[in-house]
Structure 1
Amino acid sequence: MHNSSGQERRARTQEMVDKWLAERQQMLVLYCKLAGIESFDPDKPEKQLLRDFCQLLVDYVAFGHFEVYDRITSGEERRGEVIKVAEKAYPRISEVTDIVVAFNDKYDLSDHIQSMDELTEDLSMLGEELANRIELEDKLVGALLR
């Protein structure tokens, strides 16, 4: 009986990681599309792309926080290596979460018109922060799937 519950936990972990990585991939695809736009006019179709990107970005970050980290910190995760990697990575991941929230607050165009003058620079900075976060997440994923 004990072995099957271990297999179930591993299957749930794999499913959680797969969903997280799929959301991350979707977000990165939209990031690349946005980063490739030469000049941004808020009245053009790119506005919807930016809106979609902000939504995916927030969903991805929220999934990481509420599904992955809460599971680890709630005591559901018993493997010391996973907890150790998470404790080391989480403060930096949390900083990137704050940057993502600030970016979303600035560019979520559903309720206000935001100047697009800084978008290219903000996307570049966000991309660097996301790259740092992804590197840490990959370490965590490696520990989770061991």
Structure 2
Amino acid sequence: MNSISTDTSATNLHLVAALQEERSAVWTLYCQIAEMKPFSSENAIRPMLSEFSQLLIDYISFGHFSIYEHLITEKQHQTSTLSYAEKMYPAFSNTTESAITFSDTYDDGKRKFNTENLAQDLSVLGERLAERMELEDRLCSMLLH
């Protein structure tokens, strides 16, 4: 194995490990927030939602701009991998939009938000995050092989 291949493998492993770390932080905080039901006090949950929204956007951005983009760049000569990644893109992008929508709704500390829809919004987001994790696992597998 030459040094270029070794460097690429190390970079890929680092990207996958970083994604898993971000994913774990997001999922842990998501579960902590979900356990706070019923959501009756905006003030008690607001700081957690703000932190969660920031972590969520960082995580989504990392998956979108680091993992997906790196895969496309690295595997540019492997038509089957590119074709599969391109087919995944709409679903991957959809999960990105769901996260951004959630963050836009619940991360503005100066704006009042209503916790009335939070349980439903968290449920939808949880489904999208689970879908995204499956897609990321496929992307990571392609990246590592």
Tell me the TM-score normalized by structure 1. Answer: 0.90
Cα deviation 1:72-102 (Å, max 9, x = unaligned): 33x3334625434322221101011111111
Deviations 1:83-140 (A, max 9, x none): 3432222110101111111111000132311011000000001101111111111111
Matches within 5 A, 1:1-146: 3-40=2-39, 41-44=41-44, 46-73=45-72, 75-78=73-76, 80=78, 81-146=80-145
Structure 1 gap ranges (5+): none
Question: TM-score scaled by structure 2?
Answer: 0.90
Does the CA-based 8 Å contact 1:54-1:104 persist in structure 2? yes
Residue 51 of structure 1 deviates from its aligned partner by 0.9
Distance 1:79 1:105, change over 3 A: same
SS at match of 1:118: helix
Instruction: Write the deviation string for residues 41-91 of structure 1: whole angstroms up to 9, x where unpaired.
Output: 1112x2111111111110000011111222233x33346254343222211
Q: Distance in 2 between the 1:34 and 1:96 partners?
A: 20
Q: Which amino acid aligns with 1:77?
A: K
Do the aligned partners of residues 79 and 14 (structure 1) sit closer, same or farther apart at CA in structure 2, a change above 3 Å counting? farther
Q: Which residue identity is paired with 2:42?
A: P
User: Considering only aligned residues, what root-mean-square deviation do their CA atoms show, in Å?
Assistant: 1.6
Report if aligned partners of 2:46, 2:109 keep a CA contact under 8 Å in 1: no
Structure 2 stretches lacking a partner, 5+ long: none
**What's the % identity of the aligned pairs?**
36
Deviating above 4 A after TM superposition, structure 1's stretches of 4 or more consecutive aligned residues are none
